[in-house]
Structure formats: C-alpha cells, structure tokens
Amino acid sequence: MEFTKMHGLGNDFVVVYGEQELPANAAELALQVCNRNFGIGADGLVYILPSEKADFRMRIMNSDGTEAEQCGNAIRCVSKYVYDNGYIDREEITIETLGAGVQKVQLTTDNGKVAKVRVDMGEPILNGLQVPTTIDAAQVVEHPIEANGQTFSFTAVSMGNPHCVIPVADAASFDYSVIGPLLEKHELFPKKINVEFVTVYNRNHVEMRVWERGAGPTLACGTGACATLVASVLRGATDREATISLQGGDLYIEWNSSDNHVYMTGPAQEVFRGRFE
C-alpha cells in the first residue's frame, strides 16, 4: 500500500490514493497503520476515492478502527494532496464527505503548491436530536453534564460529526485525560461525541483542546474548531469570526450570517511517503 503521511496542525493522517472503494479491511488496516509503535503512526487513515458528486470523495478511518463522518484537518490534507500531485489543476474544488455531503474548497497556492486551504464546512446542525444527543430541543446551549463527580455545561453542535463544547478556566492546562473519554461515551450521546474544552480570551480569540471520538487527544480538530466558534457565538461569548488556537497551531473560523455556513481556513503539510507491507 503506497501512502503519504500528512498533517493539519499536527492532526496527522496516513493518506492513500488510487483505490476505487473503501477496502473491506479498512478498519483492520487503520488499527495497524495508525499504531505509533508497530505501524506508521497517525490519528487516522484517509482514503481519496472517485466521486460521482464531486471532484473527489474522502473516507476517514479513526485510529481505533471506527469511521469518522467528517474531519476538517483531513479535508485540508486531501485538498493539498490532489492539487500538489497534479490530480486537479483548479484552485476551487469539491470534496464529498460521508457526514457533511459535498464541500467546496478554495486553495491558496505558492510556487505551484498549496499554502492554505479554505473550506466551506456547511451549516451547523443545532437540533439536539440531530447532533445527535438524547435532548429534544431546538438548541442545546449550556446544558449541564456530569462526569467523574464534576458538573460542566456543554453546547452541542454537529458539523457533519457531533461535538460537545465545554468552557473551562484554562483550556491550555486543563487535564482532560479522565474527563474526555467519560464524556465521549456519556449516555447523552448515542453515537459518542467529540469533546472540546475551550477558553475565550476575547471576542475574536479562543483557546481549544480536544478529545476526539475514536482517536483520543489530538493536536488539532478542524470540525471541533468550527463547533467551538458556533458554540461560543450561541453563548454570546464571541463574534462570528475568530482565531481558534489549538495545540498544533491556529485556525481561522467564520460563521457567515448571510448563508449560515461555517468557513475554516488553515494549512496542511506533507511529511513523508512510503509503502506499508
């Protein structure tokens, strides 16, 4: 299996191009190749496939073998891969995703290579049952939740995959190693959930740390950054445009009031190439 190792702000992936469909053993392969001691090491295994609806189709297997509906950092890596390798020569492309449909991507290039990727992440889903949570409400904003004897308040947002955004005093130093996995599998979330711990510095700057469903702690989460901005706006804590600082770097997120779409802008990077036996 020929592969390319890529990352978006440290959220890293094994990217495979050339298959026509997701392999039947994709879950098993993800467990093998994503293992950081006995494999290549990654947060996920990403396949770039043909699409009847868009320029390309993306399928993402988490490091635990489960499939992710969407991933903001992965879609930036996929976009850079197809352009840098000459599979498309336009700076406006479309990528089909499992959970968020077809998404439009705008590339910024420098010397023939992609330097920055802006993705139309679509409209956020705010209905409690559709995120999904077990809460039947039009919006789930600052709802109480308990884990490990502590009570938090969360806002639920889906960006094609589910997110639980929780404000904390200091996200950068918050120890979420115990709370993260408990909330991921909490009974309020029937399909599990990604958990973001956030601190609002001002109306245009938010710090975020993430426990990803199926992957655990990662250095960045693009859909999580989008959900963080949406949740912060719903709480009245930020404006509709902000820099979201992640452990691996910054993403610029916009929630456009005219079309209700969320836009994510950030980098992607190729690390190395190889062949997995």
The reply to whether 34 belongs to the active site is: no
Residue given tokens 């690390």 in the structure block: 271
The reply to whether 221 belongs to the active site is: yes
* 212 is annotated as contributing to ligand binding: yes
Query: Is residue 277 pLDDT above 90, yes or no?
Result: no
pLDDT in tens, 231-275: 999 999 999 999 999 999 999 999 999 999 999 999 999 999 999
* 209 is annotated as contributing to ligand binding: no
Other C-beta atoms closer than 10 Å to the C-beta of 256 total 13
**What percent of the chain has pLDDT above 70?**
100
Strand ranges (E), the chain = 2-8, 11-17, 44-49, 56-62, 67-68, 92-97, 101-110, 113-120, 143-147, 150-158, 162-167, 194-202, 205-212, 216-218, 241-246, 249-255, 262-266, 269-275
* 37 is annotated as contributing to ligand binding: no
Selected catalytic residue, list 34, 164, 221, 226: 221
**What percent of the chain has pLDDT above 90?**
100
Fold agreement (2-122+266-275, 143-260): yes
Selected catalytic residue, list 34, 71, 77, 226: 71
Query: Is residue 8 pLDDT above 90, yes or no?
Result: yes
* 18 is annotated as contributing to ligand binding: no
Enumerate the domain spans of the chain.
Answer: 2-122+266-275, 143-260
> What's the CATH number for 2-122+266-275?
3.10.310.10
pLDDT in tens, 116-148: 999 999 999 999 999 999 999 999 999 999 999
Q: Class of 143-260 per CATH?
A: alpha beta
**pTM summary value:** 0.94
* 25 is annotated as contributing to ligand binding: no
